[in-house]
Structure formats: C-alpha cells, structure tokens
Amino acid sequence: MGLNYAIDCRACGAHSEYHTTIVVRSKNTHLHLADHVDTECAIRCPVCRARLNNSVAEFHQQVTISLSE
C-alpha cells in the first residue's frame, strides 16, 4: 500500500505528484494523516518554495492525499 499526494501550488501554479510506500493499519489512514496539519513547520512547494501550510484550510486547498493499494 502507498500514500499518494498531489500539490497544486496557488503561488506558482505548479502541479506535483508523489507516491510513498507506508504500512497501513486501516483504510482510513489517509483521512487521519490529512486531518493533522502542522502549521508551525513550513511545508513548501517543491517548485517555487512558497509555504503551503499557513493555515489548515489553505493546506487542504493545495494538497490532495489518497491511499493506493
């Protein structure tokens, strides 16, 4: 199983897709990961380095997380 996430940066318009392999205990793991967004440490766009997580709402507008089998 893996975790897919896509970044659609509002600052530069870049679209980036990533896939990571993780050990999954539940089909709802991606929902729990998406619920917790750290706003103290910057998560940045890989292209323009703009901050994606100024707020939880802003993060959810720019980052999509899904679980793959």
- Each residue of 8-63: pLDDT tens digit? 999 999 999 998 886 656 655 555 555 678 888 999 999 999 999 999 999 999 99
Task: For residues 22 and 1, give the distance between their C-alpha atoms in angstroms, rounded to a whole number.
Answer: 6
**Residue located via tokens 């970044």:** 7
Q: Are 62 and 6 in contact (CB under 8 A)?
A: no
Please give the model's pTM, rounded to 2 decimal places: 0.74
